[in-house]
Chain A
Amino acid sequence: MRITQGTFSFLPDLTDAEIRAQIQYALAQGWAISVEFTDDPHPRNCFWEMWGNPMFDLKDAAAAMQEVLACRKAHAGIYVRVNAFDATQGFETTRLSFIVNRPKNEPGFALARQEADGRNIRYTIESYAAKAPEGRRYE
């Protein structure tokens, strides 16, 4: 399967030039770029690991791209995403977030169903990969 989180997951993987163009757009809006990575892509895992702090003072797409490439090199086999953060009052939230690196094989998720009272079913989504300890999930 292909995890389709992020703004552009239905498109072919973005090239470096395309990633840079999106970063350029975000910087032009006044947003701060950050890079995050994880080997636990559960849909409700909202806290991926931070590749340093958001780069609030950085205005140069080429420099941001260096961080993307460095993170991708260090975490070649797992998920890496680029976020753009808008600190404007009334937003103060992520405005753009897209995956820029993913494992070769994405085993996906099992849906566990626990039959409860009546016809109720309690659903749990479990990542096949995350059954292994952190750091050994996509070897």
Chain B
Amino acid sequence: MQNQADRYKSGVMPYAKMGYWDADYVPKDTDVIAVFRISPQDGVDPIEAAAAVAGESSTATWTVVWTDRLTACESYRAKAYCVDPVPGSPGQYFSYIAYDLDLFEEGSIANLTASIIGNVFGFKPLKALRLEDMRIPVAYLKTFQGPPTGIVVERERLDKFGRPLLGATTKPKLGLSGKNYGRVVYEALKGGLDFVKDDENINSQPFMHWRDRFLYCMEAVNKASAATGEIKGHYLNVTAGTMEDMYERAEFAKQLGSCIVMIDLVIGYTAIQSMSKWARRNDMLLHLHRAGHSTYTRQKTHGVSFRVITKWMRMAGVDHIHAGTIVGKLEGDPNIIKGIYSCCRDSFTKKNLEQGIFFDQDWAGLRKIMPVASGGIHAGQMHQLISYLGEDVVLQFGGGTIGHPMGIQAGATANRVALEVMIKARNEGRDIWNEGPQILAEAAKWCSPLNAALQTWKDVTFNYASTDTADFVPTPTAA
């Protein structure tokens, strides 16, 4: 480093020279680490670009300020310490940046993100910028509550073990009256689903006021529970325009005996953390619908990867998060989705570049999120879903339940039978990946709803190339 007088002389100086680049820096165990994909403008040195990102996401401004010398600025400066070219993508670089723990307020996703993604994404010297992954130190994780319930306690409350949970989203997503809506919920739950779900944009519209929906849905839930002897639930979406409205809706859901409420990602990080604390205080499962995420997670060059959002949501504290299906209608490369599921369910996530995981991550006992697979999946894919996603997952068949030719109950039964028969076969040691279709066909002989489901949807696949793929391996797309 140059002498201090030169360093703090008024004027403009490259960020790398201001102390935001240090190739010899060894991150501390307590540092927050971020890896960004940077695409510098033509002619901009990648190291200077990385240093600029470090600077703008921590203490720097565009020019030298003498007031730095009133602070322990050397430790508050984020340090870019490594810049690697992205394999196969000229002009893109992975840059690793370490942040001192004291830069962040305890238990605040809003504060963490205001630094890490607050300012830098519009920075002119970069064409594009993407936050790929983060390593959150144990010291910081321990300041977050995490999921109010977690996978283990959710299963114990529901008394459901050994298989994925089954859900469906009520369709059509808009326009049903409360009574008609409750009918769909009852039929699906009685037929064999564990949960039914409000969609992200069902709040309180002219065709169905929220109280009406809550009342009819809880009639459906309780009636189905009595009919089957099982605990059932419906994710009542409490998303609203203000926190006061959300609390009012959540309190009403509790008063009616619901075991779960739901929020949308668009309510914002602070609102999510508030609802998480409410859910912990009130023994409530908290379902998060990731409404809006694809606006910034899908494209590889710019935005924030969904695995980072998942990590933030595990810290903020949600019990369910939509995390991809691989085989369904929405974006999902198999490797990337597996990485995201690991961030939900692991106690310790190992570095795995093929799955987009850049760091070892000790989760420090933070409870686990139940991932939710939803969007264009059906009973005929059961062997693929279980093989890819495992058993701690909610499989949601909306159209695949409600669109069944023999009715909603039959649609639910088809999914439940397909699920149980596949878990049973897997446990018996059968190779479900290859024998799956045959296992389903055998069950369809004694289960006519399953037979009808297989006939109706046998050829439905969404076989498109993924956009959010791993950089370190060839990326197949599931059939």
Contact = CB atoms under 8 A, between A and B. Distances in A.
Interface of A: 1, 3-5, 7-12, 18, 21-22, 25, 41-44, 46, 83-84, 89-98, 108-111, 119-123, 125
B347 A1 contact: no
B427 interface: yes
Contacts of A5: 159, 229-230
A42 B159 CA distance: 11
Nearest to A96: B162
| 9 tightest Cβ-Cβ pairs between the two chains A and B | A3-B229, A96-B162, A7-B162, A25-B427, A111-B226, A123-B222, A90-B347, A109-B226, A97-B161
Q: Which of B427, B428, B446 has the most CB of A within 10 A?
A: B427
Contact of B420 (A11, A83, A109, A111): A11
A23 B71 CA distance: 64
A9 B192 CA distance: 10
B423 interface: yes
A7 B215 contact: no
B461 interface: no
Contacts of A41: 229
Interface string B125-167: 0000000000000000000000000001001100101110000
Contacts of A111: 222-223, 225-226
A96 B164 CA distance: 11
Q: Which of A90, A93, A108, A119 has the most CB of B within 10 A?
A: A90
Contacts of B159: 5, 43-44, 46, 97
Given A93-B156, A109-B226, 18 more contacts: A4-B228, A7-B163, A10-B192, A10-B420, A11-B421, A11-B424, A43-B159, A84-B162, A90-B152, A92-B152, A96-B162, A111-B226, A119-B215, A120-B215, A120-B255, A123-B257, A125-B225, A125-B226
A43 B229 CA distance: 5
A45 to B, nearest CB: 9
Contacts of A108: 226-227, 229
Contacts of A110: 226
30 contacts: A1-B229, A3-B230, A4-B229, A4-B230, A9-B420, A10-B417, A11-B424, A18-B424, A21-B428, A21-B429, A25-B427, A43-B229, A43-B230, A46-B156, A90-B368, A91-B152, A93-B161, A96-B162, A96-B427, A97-B159, A109-B225, A109-B226, A109-B229, A111-B223, A111-B225, A119-B211, A119-B215, A120-B256, A121-B215, A122-B257
Interface of B, secondary structure class, is: helix
Contacts of B469: none
Contacts of B428: 18, 21-22, 25
Contacts of A46: 156, 159
A44 B229 CA distance: 9
B175 to A, nearest CB: 22
B446 A7 contact: no
Q: Which of B155, B159, B161, B229 has the most CB of A within 10 A?
A: B229
